[in-house]
Amino acid sequence: MKLDNNDIPTTGKLELIAVKSFKACDDMYKIIDFLNKTLKNKHVIFGLTKDAAKDTMKISIYEA
């Protein structure tokens, strides 16, 4: 196991833990950024995607 620049141990592969879709919210990226910065030492990573056509967002949670 190696450490990346943020001191998160990586095996080169992320494991998807959960995915949830919901109505789009403009400030959601701020929450995702906060969670990633706060929980990086817990080896979890949060991702956010937006589908503008459907006005939805999807949050993904990964274990590093």
35-50, pLDDT tens digit by residue?
A: 999 999 999 999 999 9
Number of domains in the chain: 1
Please give the residue range of the domain that contains residue 38: 2-63
Considering the chain, what percentage of its residues have pLDDT values greater than 70?
Answer: 81
Average pLDDT over residues 19-33: 96
Helix (H, G, I), strand (E, B) or coil at 34: helix
Helix/strand/coil percentages in the chain, nearest 5: 25, 45, 30
Per-residue pLDDT band for 11 (boundaries 50, 70, 90) equals low
Contact status, residue 64 vs residue 10, Cβ threshold 8 Å:
yes
Distance CA 48, CA 35 (A): 12
pLDDT of residue 4: 46
- Calculate mean pLDDT across residues 23-46: 96
* 9-10/2-3 β-pairing: antiparallel
